[in-house]
Amino acid sequence: MAEESNNTQGAPASGETQAPASPQFGLQRLYLKDCSFESPRSPKVFQGQWQPKIKFDIKTRNEKVQDDVFEVVMTLTVEARLQDEMAFLVEIQQAGIFTAKGFKESDLERILATVCPNILFPYARECIDALLVKGSFPAIMLSPINFEALYEQGKAQQTTRDAAPPTSETVQ
């Protein structure tokens, strides 16, 4: 004889609690927020031998858009100089909107600083190379970046700064 139950299917029996929902992460949208290309010495820059000094800078920031939704913006700047004169300057802001729900604060911080930039970087790299090629320069093919190592390095520096004794200043 089959047992009868007054529980609706899928609802927990009295005294039971539902397991908390597992954390969810997703990409909603990728977009180019801003881009700039300058080649102030064109066309003279193309007449000499191409052996530039390349300077590269990367920054990321994030902002909460609404509950569990964040915008992450990666700013990449690449500058090439020939004999201390600028050959080109490229700066782009590659952005994405991400959903991150159910994560502890420390995990959310890590995701926004590592996982999101890992997703954005290939698009940013492609954009920079496309701009350079359109400006008649060779693509520079930026190497992959270990955002996890950068995050750990930043946390270590912050810990060192926080552990340093405060300095006193005399104001006159």
Read out DSSP for 7-19? Answer: SPTTSPPTT--PP
Alpha-carbon distance of 1 to 3, in angstroms, equals 7
**159, 108, 16, 2: CA torsion to nearest 10:** -140
3-state secondary structure of 86: strand
Q: Which pLDDT value is given to residue 5?
A: 47
C-beta neighbour count of 81 within 10 angstroms: 15
Q: Which pLDDT value is given to residue 83?
A: 87
Q: Which pLDDT value is given to residue 20?
A: 62
Q: Which pLDDT value is given to residue 89?
A: 97
What is the side-by-side strand order in the sheet with 69-82?
24-38, 85-101, 69-82, 53-66
Nearest Cα to 121, choosing from 59, 29, 28?
Answer: 59
Q: Which pLDDT value is given to residue 157?
A: 86
pTM of the shown model: 0.79
Region of residue 136 (phi > 0: left; psi between -120 and 50: alpha; otherwise: beta):
left
Q: Residue 98 in contact with residue 30, Cβ under 8 Å? A: no
Q: Average pLDDT by consecutive 10-residue portion of the chain (172 residues)?
A: 49 56 93 97 90 94 96 97 94 98 94 96 97 95 92 87 66 50
